[in-house]
Every structure is written in C-alpha cells, then in structure tokens.
Amino acid sequence: MPPGLQLALPALVLGGAALVVWFAGAGGLRIGRPLVAASAWLALASLCLVWFAARGSVELAGPQLLPGARFTLRLDAVSFAFGLCVLLPAALLLTFQRRGWRESGAAALTTAAALLATLAGGILTTSLFWGTAATLLLVQLRADHERATEVYWPALVGGWLALVWAGVALDITSGTAVYTAVPVTAMTSAIFLLVAAAALLGSGLLPWRPWTSEMWDRPRLYVGSLAVAVLFPIGFYLLVRAYAAGGGRWPSPWLNATLAVAGALVALAAAARAQAAPTRRAFLAEAVPGLGGFALLAFALGTPTGITAGVLTVLTASVLAALLPLLPETGSPLLAAILVVLVAGAPPAATFGARALTVEAGIEVGDGWAFLGVAAALAWLLTFAGGARALRLPVRGRGGEPGGSAAGAGLAAGILLAGGAGLGVVISRICVPATAEVIGVPPGSIGGGSAAVLTTAGAWAAVALGLPLLLLAVVPALAGRRAPAAGVAADSPPPLLTAPWTDRPARFGRRLAALRVPDEYRSLFNPRAIEAAMGRGQPLLWALLLIALAVAVNR
Amino acid sequence: MTVLAIAAVVIAWLGGAFLVLSDARRGVALGVALYAIGLAATLYNIPPAALALGLAGLGAAALRLRDGPPRWGTLPPGSTPRLLLCVVSGVLAAFAGASILAGPGPAPVRIVILLGGAMGAARLLSTLRREAALASTTVMTLALGAAAAVAGDRAAPTVVAAAALAAVLLGVLPAAETKARGA
Amino acid sequence: MPWEDIGAHVLALLAYPGALTMCALGLAAEIGAAWALVPERGGLGAAARNTLRALRPRSREVPPLAASAVILALAAATQLAAPLNPVPPAERNSLVAAAGLLGASWLTWSWGWGRRAAAPQVMLAVQACWLLAVLLPSIEPGNLRPQALGAVVLGNQVPLKLACGLLYLAALPGLLMLLPESAPLGPPGAGRARAPEETGFTVVRALLWLPYCGLFSSLFFPAAEGPLGVLRFLLATAGAAAVAIAIAANLTRRPAGITRVLYLRLALPFAGFAVLVAALTVALVH
Amino acid sequence: MGPELALGLPAAGAVLAAVLRRRPALALLCGGLLGLAGALMMALLAYPAAQASLLGLSLPAAPRGLLLVSALALGLVVALAPPQADRVGLLAAGLAGLAGLAAVAAAPDVLAVGVVVALLAAGHAALPGRLPFPTRMRAPGLAVALLLAGALLQHAGDAPVFARLSALALVLALVAAAGLVPFLPELDPAEPASASPVAWTGFFGPALAVALVARIQPGLGNDGAPVYGALLVGLGVLNLAWGTLGAWLGEGDVAAWRYSFLADWGLALVGLGVLVPDGQAAAYLVLASVLLVRFPLYLWARPVLLGRAQPAMGPSNVLLAAALAGAAPFAGFSVRVLLLRAATEVYWPLALVLGLGMLVWLAHSFRLARTLGAPRGRAAVGVVLALGFSVLLGVAPATFLTLGGL
C-alpha cells in the first residue's frame, strides 16, 4: 500500500457508496438515502480518525497528470479544517434532505470531489477536483431545474479558469504548484490576484447578489443547498493556502487591504439585501454570503487572530449552510429566536463567536483595519434588523419538495448553539492549528485553551458564560414549542434601507444590450455578410486578403 | 533552345487561358492538354518527369473529353474579366518566375508552374462547372509534380509519379454531379 | 472544567450585576420614567402602580421571545465593568455586551414589528449611532474590555470620547424604548399590557436599564473598586438613565415626527462626525 | 513495407466497401477488417522493425498517433452511427480519407502533401451531396494552390522575404484545408455529414494539420518561424472568437456545431503557433478531442439537426454540455492547463485572451448538448464512449501524448 493512501479513505467511502447506490438502484433496490447518509458520516469519522491518528501532516503522491500537475493529496491542519467544512454540512444535508437514489449517488460523488479539492496538495489538483465537483453539481442542478444556473456556471468556470492559470503560472515561475513547496518569491501579486479571483468567484464573495444567494431562487433546495455547502469553503481554502505559499503573508499589504475592504463590502451588501428581502427565503439566502464577507475580512487581516477567526467563520457558515435549508417554513416564535440568535448571531451561538472574533481581530490590528471591523459590526447590526423583519415576511413554498426537516434543523441548530459554548475547543483544536500551519502564531496571541477565547482585544468565556446561557436557553426553547405562531404579513414589510445601487448591474446590462453599431458601419460588423463572402470564395476577395497578409508579414 | 522554351511557356499559357475561358468539354480538355505539353516541354532536361507529367496531362485531357457539354464553349459572352485575368496572370507569372524567384529550376519551368497554380486556382475558385473544376485541379496537380521535379529533393520521383497518377485519377472522376442520399 | 469560573459567571448572571440588580434598578428606573413621561396620570405612587400593573404576568405561559431577550440582557450585564463584578476583568468584552443587547432589542422587534407607532428605521439609526459610540473608542487602544476603555480619559482620546459619549446618551432613549417610535410595547406608563408577550417585553425593558446605562459608565468613566467605586458606578449609571428619561420626556412633548427627524437628520450625521474624529485620532497617534 | 501497408490497407478497404455496397454486411465486414488491419499496421510502426519502407516512406510519431485516433473515431462513428445513416458510405469515405491522411503523413515534402490533398479534396467533393462539386472544392483547392506557392517560395532563394511569404502561404494552406476562418466554406445544413465541410474540420483536418506541421516546421528557418507562429496564433484567436460567438449567437444548430469546431480549432492553432512543447501537446489533445468527442457527437446529433428527432435536456445532455464546455474532469481540463501554461510561457496577455475565449465558450455548450436529444440504443453507447474518451483525455492525457511521441 503506497504511503498516505489512507488520505483517500473518506473520498473512497463516499465514491464507493455512490457506486453501490447506483447499482442497487438500477437493480430496483432503493437504499440510496440511508446508505449515502451513513457513508457521509463514516467519511467524516474516518477523516477525524486519520487526522488524529497521524498527529501530523500526511501526504499521498500520485501520478503526474500533466506537466507540473502531479496528483498530490495532503492532510494537515488546514485541509482537516476545510475537510470538516465540506463534510459536516454535507453529512447533515444528505441525512435529512429527501433525495432519490440517483440524486443521492450524485450527491455523494460531488461531496467526495469537493473533499478531495480541500485535501489537494497543489493548485492544479485542487482545480481538477473543484472543477469536477462544480460539473457534477451543474448536472444535478440542471437535471432538477434550469433556474439560477446561469450565474452559477459562469462564476464557477471563471473562478476555475483563474485558478488553473494561477497554477500553471506558479509552476512556470517556480517549477511547482504544490502549496507547501512553492518558493516564497514565486507567489507574486499577479498570481495571487488570480487565486483571489478564483476564491471570490467560487465562494460567491461579491458585493452584488452571488450564486450562493441565487441558489435560493430555485423551486427546490436540495441540490442548490448542497452546492453552497460543499463549494463555499473551497475559495477560502485557496486564500489560506496562499498564505502558506507566500511564507505566511500575501505578496503585498495592498492585496490584504483590498480583500479586507472587499470582505467588509460583501458583508454590508449581503446585510443590506437581507434587510430588504421580499420573502423569508430571500433573507435566508443572504446569511452565508454575509458570513462569507466576515470570513474574507478576517483572512485578509493576515494576523493569527484574523486567520483563526476566518477559519472559525467558514466552519460556522458551513453548518449554517446546512441549517437554513432544513428549517421548516413556519411562523413559530422559536423560528424568530433562531433567525435572530443563530442567523444574525447572538450569544452563545457559534455565529456570534465567529462574527465577534472577526471584529475583535480588526480592532486588534488597529488603524484603518479597525474601521473595517466597525463596518463589519454595522453589517452585523443590519443582519439583526433583517432577522427581526424576516419573521414577518411571506414564506415561499418549496415547490414539489416537502418543507425542511425539524429533526435536521434541530441538530444543526444544536451544533451551532453548542459551538458557541465549545468555541474554545473548536479554536484551540481546529482553527489555531490551521493558522499555525500557514503563519507563525506567537504564544499567547490566542489563549484561553479549551475553556475560553482570549485575544489581545477581547475575550469570550465560552464555557463559563456560554454553558449557563445554553442551559438557560432551554426555557424559551421549551416555551416556544407551545407558543402560537406569529402573524405573517401577506405582503412583506417595507425594507429598512433601500440601497440606491442594487439595480445598477441590471441597468448597466440593459444599457449594454441596447448598444448598436451605427447604421452606416453596420455592414462592416455583419458576420453573416462576411461569412457569405467567405463561402462564395470570390478569388478577388482571397487575393486581396493574401496581398494584405503578405504586406503585413513583411513590414 | 530559348525559342523552344518561350514557345513552351506560351503553349502552357494558352492551355491555362483555354482552361479559364472555356465552359465546355472540348475547350477545357484542350486547355489541360496544351498546359501538359507546355509543361513537359519546359521539363525537357528531366525526361522522366516530362514524360510522366506530359502523358498524365494528355490522359487527363482525353478523359475530360468523355463527358460534360459536347462543344468548345470558349469565350462565352461576358468573358472579358476572365480574358483580363489570363493576360494579367500571364504577365505576372512571367515577371515573378523570370526576375523575382531564383528557384526552383530554370525560369521557364517556374513560369509554367506559376501559370498552372495561378490560373488553375483562379478558375477553380470562380467556376460552378464540375468539368472545369476537375480540369483546374488536374492542372494544379501537374504544376505540383513539376515543382517537385525541379526542386530535386530525394523523394522527387515518388512525388512526380504521385502527381501524374493523381492527374489521371482526377480525369477519371465524372463531370456529372451526383445528388445526396441518406444523412 | 473551570468550575470556579463558571460559578463566578453564574453569580454574575443571576445576582450582581445580573438578574437581581437589573430587576431592582430596572424597576426604579421604570417607575421614574413612567412618572416623568406621563405626569398627567398623577404622582410617583400612581406611576409605581401603573408600572407594577404593566409588569404583572397575564398568564402562566413563559413568552419565548421575551425569555430569550432576557437571557441576552443578562449576558450583556455580566460584561459591565461594575465594581465587585465576579467575572474576571480579562474575560469581559464590550462586544459581547453589545451583541447581547442588540439581540435582545431585535428579538423584541421581531415581536413588535408594525405594532403601535414603532418605527424600525428610527431604531436602526439609533442602534447604529450607539454601536459606533461603543466601538469607536476601542480603536486606538485596540482593546474591547470595558474597564480598559473606561480607564482612558486623558490625552488625544478625549475629543473622541466626548463625541461618543454624547452619541451614546442621545441614543439611550431609543435603546431603552422610552419613545413611541422605538417602543412597540409603548413607552413606560403607557398602560396595561395587551398580551402576555407584551408583559414579557415590559420586563425586558425593565432589565435593559442596567446593561445600557451601566455600559455607558463602564466605557466612559474609570472603574474603581470598593464601596466608593460601587457608589460612583451607580451614580454614573443613574445619571445616564436620568439623561435618557429627560431627553425622552422632552421629545414626547414635541410634535409627532420630531424624533425621526432628530435621529435620522442629526444623530446619524453626528455619528459620521464621530467616525471622522476617530480617524483623526488614529492619524494623530501614528 | 510497414508505411505502404498502413496506407494501402485502408485504401483497399475503401475500394472493397464501395464495390460491395449492394451487400452492406459484407462491405462493412471487409472494410472494417482492412481498416482494422491498417490501424494495426500504423500502431506497429511505433516499432523500428515495422518502419522499413520500399518507397522510402516514413510516418512520424505525431501524425501517426493522430492517424490512430482518426481510425478509432472512424470505427466509433461507423459502428454506432444513427440508424438512418449510410454506414457503408461512411465507412468507404472514412477509409479513403484515412488512406489519404496516411499518405499525407507519409508524404516526403509539402508538394507531395499538396498532391494528396488535391486528390483527397476531389474525392470528397465527388461524394453525393447537395452543394455542387466546385463549391466544395474551393477551400481545399485554394489550400493546394497555397501549398504549391509555399513550396515554390521555400526554394525561391535565400532572401528573408521568401521565407516569410512561404510561411504565410503554408499556414493559410493549413487553415484553408481545414475549412476555418477566413476560408470558411459554404455549409448546407441538409448536406450528408460525410460530404459536408464539417468532415474536413472534424475528421480530415486534425491529422492533416499535424502531418502538415510536421512537414512545414523543419523548413521554416529563422525568418519564417516568427511569421508562422504569429499567424497561427492570430488565426487561432480569430477562430476561437468567431467560433465561440457564432456557436452562441448564430442561427441554426448545424451552424452552431460547425462554429464549435472552429472554436476547438482556434485553441489548436494557438497551441501549434506558440512553438513550445506544452502548446504542441495542447493542440494535439484538442485535435484528438475533436476526433473522439466533438465529431462523433455531431454525427449522433444529426437526427435532431435534421428534424427527425426531438431535442432534449436530460442529465446526460447536461453532462455532455459540461464535456463540450471543457469543464473538469473532461478533455477541456488538460487542454486548458497546457494551453494556458504555454501561453503564459510565451506571452501572458495571450493567456488572458484565451481565458476570456474559454469563458465565452460556455454559452453554446448547452445549445449543442440539447441537439443530442435523448440518446437511445447505439447513440447512447456512443455518448457514453465519447464521454469516456473525454474523461481519459482530461485526466490521463499522457496516454495520448505518448501515442503522439509528445
């Protein structure tokens, strides 16, 4: 057995399950959902087992796919953290969402590809598996419904092409595109910009409505939600690996500043869209992009606290991405509590911890960065307001698909709530090691061990305060089950803020489409006329063409 | 010798002109035949090539006589542009072959090859008659063979033989269009 | 398991500066506010009776949203730089307090959206001003611990702290739901609650007095230990509450709509000015 | 006499298939066996023992590899052709083409290539079709004339201008022979696939291009090489833009398919033009994917294109759309990696232009995939095989690259 083959185990479990499900399904044995769900949890367990058993990084060197593109897998603290980001929501969704056996198999295979993208040791291997996961998801999305794939596909392929270009450029300049082997000087600003473009497009980190939000426009959520859950973390994985390739920093502080501003903008824009959402679904659609903005800001800070906050935020967002599509669409007061406490992020939820740690990281750096932290806090406030308004919004039915799963939503909500109390454990066991893998972490910069999170700027007594709050939260949780549903308005209440720029992209697109070549020049730009001339093969035309080219090449 | 060379070039040009100016089997066949004779004559110092290409050209011309409209069809109404093309290509080929190109082979062969290529291509690109298109391709193939012969590469005999064979095969192809069947 | 730490936090949550203290101070503040805002209903006794009637539960059921808001308010209270607070100073965080208070407030709004004269836009503006007033002073020291921020009273931070202090005080009436536009349950002394949840949220408002006003004194006044420190803290807290009631009393006597104009046209630009001051302070320091 | 057999066996197969067309089963059997024998011979030519030739012919590795791929593609389309298709005609024409391509690959110089192209073009144009013979002869006829001009200029003298003009003529000859912009032949949607210009672009073109390049490149010299490279890159970008936009916005699905071939060719021309090994490898893979994926899929789309079947967009069509869009893990992955790498090595803005072209590429893939309808029977098997080849080209391109000696 080649060394490091155990790395492929989680993906093999999922891939094997997909094949078994398809063969069994073809033979009339409908065991798709339970088998795939079990395989997802098994893959999660095996990932943890391999990581904790190895007590260090493990590598698997495969064959050379292409010049500069060797198939390599690497399990270290970073890939472990991001592997969890992919597997945890996928396991929840595959367990609690209803799928046919064909869809279950495809979903398992997609999860395996996405997992391999986060376990990949080099940019080109990541691009291969990332592209594969995106393709598999496209097939499932289009097989279900055409809607919202018009944005998804170009964004993903654009990001993928940018990543491929970055990979080959890195390989040309340094002779390798393996994250841990790239010389520090090879990661230039230009190459990093390509990686950043891939990350922003792939994870939907844009100030306007990204594909992660548009997935919620689909009549059924079971494919779109999986797409968000498994593809969203990969962009951030690239940004973290860029730190490793750059020797603990990005090529220029301006790049950090630019992405930090972009992160704050993304968070603010998502919050602005959330508070103006016409339906509750439209509000939920902005939750993951909003957290994505926080994560981008945190990563761009480039400090140990920042990167730790970033990893924590992505981990939290990935669980949230599983919770939201599982929420039953009711008007229960308990749902209001979930919208405000879990989605917007109030103590002791992990969504609160992630946002708080990001703002703290900004304040800790000081100067202009702190103002970005304050901007993120304002986005947080807007999300709170949107959460309060969301309970009044009309519920958008889920087409043919039955409403979410109370059990699944309960489990995911429990994980998020408990995550706040266990934040110390998550940070000290998952996030800080991932940070230490890519940049130096001075001792004590993030203290508190498993009980609390202590940074220079602030603290969160995870166990000491979070645990009692968690116990107290049982009271409203029990009370909420008997309470009457809140009255939902027939039409949505007016938004708190009307952003003047929301319709700009559409207007720009319309203007662009309205552009016309002036009549007197139209024949010059008429491809059909040019083709007809080519097809007729007039000797004079070709003679002129040849003469023109002959003159051109001899100038 | 020079007179013979000039005469050969003129005969080849006449062949090309007949090819360009004729819309029926006899004119086209005469064009191919004259061009083949002229070409063979200019290749007198490479007898095997001259023989192969000359005979192939004459064979192709003879085969062309078997189908297509049974008349000369030379200089039909509206041929002035074609006439102009013949004159211009003749002059240009003579100028380029004699004073611009330094090879391959002697100037008369170069001129004849250029005439074959230029007039054959011009006819092929402008005609809608199958027999004329086939004859033009034949002429270009003969020119290719001649160029290979004078270029004097190691594989020249093979190429000349291939060109001669191709010319005959092109002659074998019928002039009647066959309509499509199936998908 | 850090049992000692857990014990300290539970004590802070349930006794001081948590539930018990919040109830005592909140009740007093509610009565005072009711008396100041609706004097035509009679003297202090009448205001006390009104307040107690409004706080009496209508049914045995625990209103879930209000209960959640109460928990968040308790969490916020534990973060105050109150003297004798059992929570270790290193573990206090004004951001935790802010998040708790924002959560409590918007839980109230998720119930109260569209009720009475409540105007969420005004509330959002008020909270934006308040959040800036809480966070801007922490930029230069790079610290969010209340006692650390309160200790910085001299030097080039003074203009910023003044601006933020004013902003904080201006926001208090809205935050404490003393104005019709910011109180879906109606301002203090508005009369009997109409629904169990409304009673719950009246309780929430009563519990919010200490966290909001206490956070003001924590952020803008240096903490001192011992009885004198407690007295100073209580005085500053009561002073902030009194200013809030005074502003609210003044605004409720003015024509309808003045509150909206004041917060949207005056407080928000002033918040922008505070941001400018913060930027200048940072620029001057470096 | 390996090369002679590699050339002669398919030719004999073509003749037999044409002669026995009244008895289709026998024609398919004989033609198939002889074609298979020819392909086997081509494969054996990888071994020195089989390379001995009576006429001094030789088959270089790269064209030989693509010839084998062409043979494989021919086998695929004949064995799994749609029910309405004339399989015997397809096999006869294909084998004749294969023999012609083998002759082109074995041709000792450009002039010989010209002779074979003339014969191949005339043979193809003589096939029963809807457009007249002269119309179908135009583009390849021009290619023959340009090959003649290029070869003459190669021997015209030592002046740099001759080298540059020769390179120009030879590159344009390649483009004209493959039927690309600016020598786009007229297209009649109802024309039988075997007789339409798509046969040049999709079947004859790839092996012809690689063979021609193998003959052209050694004789370029220092003055010709820059012109050769720049022209190929320029025409490649032109075809990429024309093909992607045309396939997206053009009227008619047949035209869209033809444009999609142009887009593939655009990438191939750029790969050939950048003159670095990665570029050559990328071009080789693109042309292989044209033969093994796009051309067979076009043939299986014919029933819908001719209105005999309904278009559809099932899961298999979406998978095909992804494959046609060049997404990972299909052929597009390796091609894009190699091409972007080559372009970045040579001149990075070129990579940017290619990236934009590849992005616009997406727009037409779904349109094309719809025209495959709901594949049934042989077509379904064919679609699965084409997707399999595409994945193989994407994740294990080394198999094909070693076949072409790259």
Stretch B49-72: mean pLDDT:
94
| pLDDT reported for residue B182 | 43
Q: What is the mean pLDDT of chain D?
A: 91
CA distance A543 to chain B (A): 9
D124: number of Cβ within 10 Å = 25
C261 to each of C39, C131, D336, how far by Cα in Å? Answer: 25, 20, 59
- Residues B102, C219: Cα–Cα separation, whole Å: 95
Subunit contact A380:C99, Cβ cutoff 8 A: yes
Q: Taking 50 as the threshold, does the pLDDT of residue B47 lie above it?
A: yes
Ramachandran area for residue A386 (φ above 0: left; ψ -120 to 50: alpha; else beta): alpha
Q: Residue A156's closest CA among D352, D237, D326, D367?
A: D326
Q: Please give the Cα distance from A444 to C237 (Å, whole number).
A: 35
- Alpha helices per DSSP H over C64-157: 64-77, 94-112, 120-135, 146-151
What residues in D contact A549, CB-CB < 8 Å?
168, 172, 231
Report which secondary-structure segment, H or E, holds A275.
helix A253-275
Ordered per-residue pLDDT tens for chain A, 555 residues: 667 788 999 999 999 999 999 999 888 888 889 999 999 999 999 999 999 998 788 999 888 888 777 889 999 999 999 999 999 999 999 999 988 898 999 999 999 999 999 999 999 999 999 999 999 999 999 888 888 788 899 999 999 999 999 999 999 999 888 998 899 899 999 999 999 999 999 999 999 899 999 999 998 899 999 999 999 999 999 999 999 999 999 999 999 999 999 999 999 999 999 999 998 899 999 999 999 999 999 999 999 999 999 999 999 999 999 999 998 877 676 777 787 789 999 999 999 999 999 999 999 998 889 999 999 999 999 999 999 998 888 876 554 455 688 899 999 999 999 999 999 999 999 999 999 999 999 988 888 788 899 999 999 999 999 999 999 988 888 877 776 666 555 567 888 888 667 677 788 888 888 887 777 776 666 777 778 877 776 777 888 888 899 998 887
Taking a C-beta distance cutoff of 8 angstroms, is the pair C110, A391 a contact? yes
> Is the CB of D128 inside 8 Å of chain B's CB atoms?
yes
- Check residue C255 and report its DSSP letter: P
Relative orientation angle of helices B130-151 and B2-21, to the nearest 10 degrees: 150
> CB–CB of C95 and A461 under 8 A?
no
Contacts of B126 in chain A (CB under 8 A): 538-539
Q: What is the percent of chain A with per-residue pLDDT over 70, rounded to a whole number? A: 94
The backbone torsions φ and ψ at residue A303, rounded to the nearest 5 degrees and listed phi first, read -100, 160
If you measure CA to CA, which chain A residue comes closest to D246?
A527
Cβ-based contacts under 8 A for chains B and D: 164
Chain C contact probe: residue of A283, A374, A446 with most C CBs at under 10 A: A374
- Name the packing angle between helices A304-326 and A350-365 (round to 10°): 150
Q: Scanning every residue of chain A, which has its alpha carbon at the shortest distance from the alpha carbon of D173?
A: A546
Burial label for A515, CB within 10 Å (0-12, 13-18, 19+), is exposed
- The answer to whether D148 contacts B113, with C-beta atoms less than 8 Å apart, is yes
CA separation for the pair A420, A165 (Å, rounded): 39
**Closest CA relative to residue A495, chosen from A212, A325, A282:** A282
The CA-atom distances, in angstroms, between A488 and each of A272, A335, A395 are 21, 12, 8
Instruction: Give dist(CA D354, CA B169) in Å, integer.
Output: 44
φ and ψ at residue A72, rounded to 5 degrees: -130, 140
Question: Residues in chain B, how many?
Answer: 183
Q: What integer pLDDT is reported at residue A543 of this predicted model?
A: 84
Largest separation between any pair of C-alpha atoms in chain C: 59
Q: Which residues of B touch A537 (CB under 8 A)?
A: 125
Q: Which residue among D152, D192, D303 places its CB closest to the CB of B180?
A: D192
Q: How many CB atoms lie within 10 A of CB A440?
A: 10
Position A399 scores a pLDDT of 47
DSSP A303-365: SHHHHHHHHHHHHHHHHHHHHHHHS-----HHHHHIIIIIIII-TTSHHHHHHHHHHHHHHHH
Distance from C-alpha of B86 to C-alpha of B108, rounded to nearest angstrom? 17
D361-406 tens-digit pLDDT = 888 898 999 999 998 888 899 999 999 999 999 999 998 998 888 7
Q: Give pLDDT, residue A400.
A: 43
> Quick one: average pLDDT of D247-251?
86
**Residue of chain B minimizing CA distance to D306:** B183
Determine the residue of chain B that is closest to D135 in CA distance: B128
Tell me the DSSP string of D220-289.
-HHHHHHHHHHHHHHHHHHHHHHHHHHHHH-SSHHHHHHHHHHHHHHHHHHHHHT-SHHHHHHHHHHHHH
H/E stretch holding A454 reads: strand A453-455
Q: How many angstroms separate the Cα of A273 from the Cα of each of A155, A297, A313, C121? A: 20, 19, 20, 15
- Whole-angstrom distance, CA of residue D58 vs CA of residue A392: 80
pTM of the model: 0.91
Asked if B touches D (at least 3 Cβ pairs < 8 angstroms), the answer reads yes
**Is the CB of C9 inside 8 Å of chain A's CB atoms?**
yes
Task: Render pLDDT for A184-208 as a digit per residue (tens, 0 to 9).
Answer: 899 999 999 999 999 999 999 999 8
Mutate to test the interface with A, among B86, B123, B126 (most CBs of A within 10 A): B126
- Phi then psi for residue C57, to 5 deg, are -60, 140
| Strand, coil or helix: D291 | helix
Chain B's closest residue to D90, CA to CA, is B183
Q: What is residue A246's three-state secondary structure? A: coil
Contact at CB, D340 and A545, closer than 8 angstroms: no
CB contact under 8 A, C6 and A468: yes
Q: What is the rounded distance in angstroms from the CA atom of residue A252 to the CA atom of residue A168? A: 21
Q: What is the rounded (10 degree) CA torsion for A355, A356, A361, A362?
A: 80
Between chain D and chain C, are at least 3 CB pairs below 8 A? no
Sort out which chain A residues have CB atoms less than 8 A from B125's CB and list them: 537-539, 542
Separation in Å, CA D61 to CA B19, D70, D106, D284 = 41, 14, 11, 12
Q: Give Cα separations from C205 to A545, B45, C26, C33 (angstroms).
A: 84, 115, 8, 11
Task: Enumerate the residues of chain D whose CB falls inside 8 A of the CB of residue A162.
Answer: 355
C-beta separation of D209 from D315 below 8 A: no
Does residue C102 surpass a pLDDT of 80? yes
CB contact (8 A) between residue A542 and residue B125: yes
**A535 vs B: CB within 8 A:** no
